[in-house]
Chains A and B, each alone.
Chain A
Amino acid sequence: MKRFLYLIPGLALSVLAVSCQPDIEAPDTNSADLNLTRYVAYGDYITAGFMNGGLSRESQQNAYPAILAKQFALFGAPATFEQPYFSGEGTPMMTLASENGAPAIRNSEEFVKLTLAECTGLPSLNKPYGGDLAKVQNFGVPALKIKQLKTPGLGNSANQNTAGFNPYFERILPASDNRSYLEVAGTSNPTFFTAWFGMSDVISYIMSGAACGTLPEEAEFTTEMNSLLDNLTKRQPNGKAERKGVILNLPSYEDFPIAYAPDLVKIQDDLRKQTGNSNLTIWVKVLKNMNVPSQGVDTVVVVAKDILTPKGRTTIGVQGHGLSKQHPLNSDEVLNYKEIQHLTARMNRYNVKITDIVKNPAFANMVIVADMKQLFGTLRNGVIYNGVKYDLSPVKGGVFSLDNFTLTPRGQAIVANKIIQAMNQEVLPKSPQFSGFGTKIPEVNVNDYPAMGL
């Protein structure tokens, strides 16, 4: 009996040691009927992985297309995602420094120049990609505007320092290649794609105070997007799209941190306090008619929401500049409230047009929308993801990078997740604007991506 008793604890302990982990049924994940063998991304700044005002190999690796490709690889897509990587150093990035205890952003000049490229022209980066263009899967080109999609020679260094040149497009292309972006995209043969255009137009408009190029008209936007999608979906003579993809719409002006910069009324108040002159007034030139620039300008007193552009921040007050009706701030020094209204109206219309496009029977249920307007609207109020808080405030919000327009790696991951969520929606033949592809692709853990270096 005694021997038996000694056995009991021994037996029981060995039961404990081998007692297995509670099993949990394998989650059902799948990519539905999507052909993900060659996913290609098209777009501009954010698509390229542009962040903190520049582009580098590391930032490219954290672009949402690269994040998406990693998830697609779970379903048979190739493990490597070919991007036009920089072999050495990328382009200059902004850095965060501490100045008298307050955070200060440095090295923003290059980004400002890039947003004004359509006006001033830019030289070549002299950092050619040099790889096989046929293999490239990320055609994100920072600063690429909608009206430039069909511009020949946009990536030909013969055109450098002109409005018709984009140094980021040039570095992808072979030397002296005269093809337009659309022509290059047309030969990229995706089996699945994402497209996000319009951000460059918006960024340039805001940064230049609406003084560097115009926002595309609604009709122009529609035409360009249709041409692009005809191409990317390999639309057939019978009018039907053959390839599937996701189109991203645009967030709102209020989603950019710049919308919360001190406006000119606040700056005027501060100047009044500083100078002790309670009559000090800031004047600015504003177009009489936003849609007909030829009607000329009015010189008016600043109002709430008017904000300074990077140029205006350096010129205001210099020899009284902007402080009298005779010396008003110029159009390129201010983004005024009328321009903001115009921008908001246009962005809304672009989003309506995107909805119309995916409702078009040619593209219905072949091209779906990932709703960035909804996503950024939610982010604006703050979200929490696995215990980590995010919002759209500059620097600390964790979503926007230091340039206040492009995203941090975690912001990129949030966009990637939104695209996955859109794809995972069920297929809705009757309301294609809300349709997904019925996939069950897992999301990524946003917090796994690098945090903003504070």
Chain B
Amino acid sequence: MLAQAGGFQVNTQGQKALGMGGAFSAYNKDASAAYYNPGALSMLDSGRYISVGSTFLMPKTTFLSANTATVSEMESQVFFPSYLYAAIPVSKRITAGLSVNSPYGLGTKWEDNWEGRSVSQEVNLKTFYVQPTLSYRITDNFSAGAGLVYAYGDVLVRRQIGEINSNAKLTGTASGFGFNAGVFGKIQDELSFGITYRSNVNFNLDKGKATFTNVPASLSSQFPNQNFKSTLELPSTLSVGFTNRINQKILVAFEFNLTGWSSYDSLNFNFENAATPDSRAGRKYEDAMAFRVGTEYGHSDNLAFRAGLFYDETPVRDEYISPELPDGSRIGLTAGLSYKLSERFELDAAYLFEKVAERNAVTDITKTNVANVAGKYRTLVNGVGLGLNYKF
């Protein structure tokens, strides 16, 4: 499961933020503010910033079937959601920024012949968000910023049509627009706060490609290769955080997120050919909250250590737990550090461990519109991130 946070959110968008459990909307240390809080961008120390980085995520999921008592392991995959941020002051009060990252993603892959193959064999969703941003320092203590998001998505869905032992593969790309806005304020030098709102993004997939293989000749007219339509709305997120500098060396950050997953009600694929049965799957996600706390310890001018903790609630209800995304509420522990290699270069590193609550999928064989497989899922996620910051 690539999804590293609730639903198919990915919150590894900056190594400093990751080291602090993701509590970063009220902190500004580098160009990742373009994503975490566009308002904070204009509060960076003078200079131009560029940050790049990548997080290697290795999730592991095990499934125990309630019917056959067999254990299936999700195929191991390594994901590396990456980012690029830039912050360039254009005037005394205005800073321009750019954020390029993948805040949503999903990758679940089961063995082609596993027990739930007619529910899901593989889902792969990648997104890329490009967000040019402007941030304005209104006073020395208060700033606001906003960016326009252009989002691009790429999806792959594979499953077996078990009735006739045929295979369906759906692929497509789509794009959409959204925005990201935030305000940032300081109360004296010790306390700062941030509020960020990232809007939902609607993807309209008009020309997806459906490929059917191994279709029996007598049914080939029902399952020709064809186009399909689908829509997917990725949710909005509201973040509220504050940061308290306890002393010269130690800082503590808190954050609350509310992700509007309830917009994700169902996932439907409408096939162009009227003879091909459309696919409709209820999702009925619920809005989900996350709580984050992080700390940073400035060991020296060159070296800082970080640690964080978060609880990320799942948007997936019990009756909709499925092998496409056997999501559960998560507890995460993070650690990180930054080391200044020179005046200009700074290296960030972070480590993440997540334990996803065990989920139990229950099926009712008489509800023929719900395709699922009954059993328990357990998931662990490990991640290591590296980032490089350049200031000039």
Contacts and interface: CB of A to CB of B under 8 A. Distances in A.
A24 B68 contact: no
A444 B68 contact: yes
B365 interface: yes
A323 to B, nearest CB: 35
A9 B386 contact: yes
B361 to A, nearest CB: 11
Interface string B80-97: 000000000000000000
Contact of A103 (B73, B160, B163, B218): B218
A362 interface: no
Contacts of B65: 445
Interface in B340-377: 347, 349, 351, 363, 365-373, 376
Contacts of A24: 62-64, 71, 376, 378
Contacts of B132: none
Contacts, number: 121
A416 to B, nearest CB: 12
B322 to A, nearest CB: 10
A388 interface: yes
B119 A453 contact: no
B367 A442 contact: no
Contacts of A454: 164, 216, 218-219
B266 interface: no
Contacts of A388: 118, 162-163
A224 interface: no
A89 interface: no
A378 interface: yes
Interface string A409-421: 0000000010000
B62 A447 contact: no
Interface string B43-77: 00000000000001010111111011111010000
Interface in A77-107: 96, 98, 103
A442 B69 contact: yes
A20 B337 CA distance: 25
Given A21-B62, A29-B69, A386-B162, A16 B382 contact: yes
Q: How large is the interface on A (under 10, 10 to 19, 20 to 34, 35 or more residues)?
A: 35 or more
A384 interface: yes
B367 A387 contact: no
Interface string B216-228: 1011000000000
Contact of A22 (B60, B115, B116, B363): B60
B119 A387 contact: yes
B117 interface: yes
B283 to A, nearest CB: 16
A12 B58 CA distance: 12
A292 interface: no
Interface in A378-414: 378, 381-389, 396, 398
A5 interface: yes
B384 interface: yes
A142 B160 CA distance: 34
26 contacts: A8-B349, A9-B386, A12-B349, A13-B56, A15-B351, A16-B56, A22-B60, A98-B218, A378-B365, A382-B368, A384-B365, A384-B368, A384-B371, A385-B365, A386-B117, A387-B117, A387-B162, A388-B163, A389-B163, A417-B67, A442-B68, A444-B68, A445-B68, A447-B115, A447-B162, A454-B218
Given A1-B339, A21-B380, 7 more contacts: A24-B63, A24-B376, A24-B378, A96-B218, A384-B367, A386-B117, A445-B115
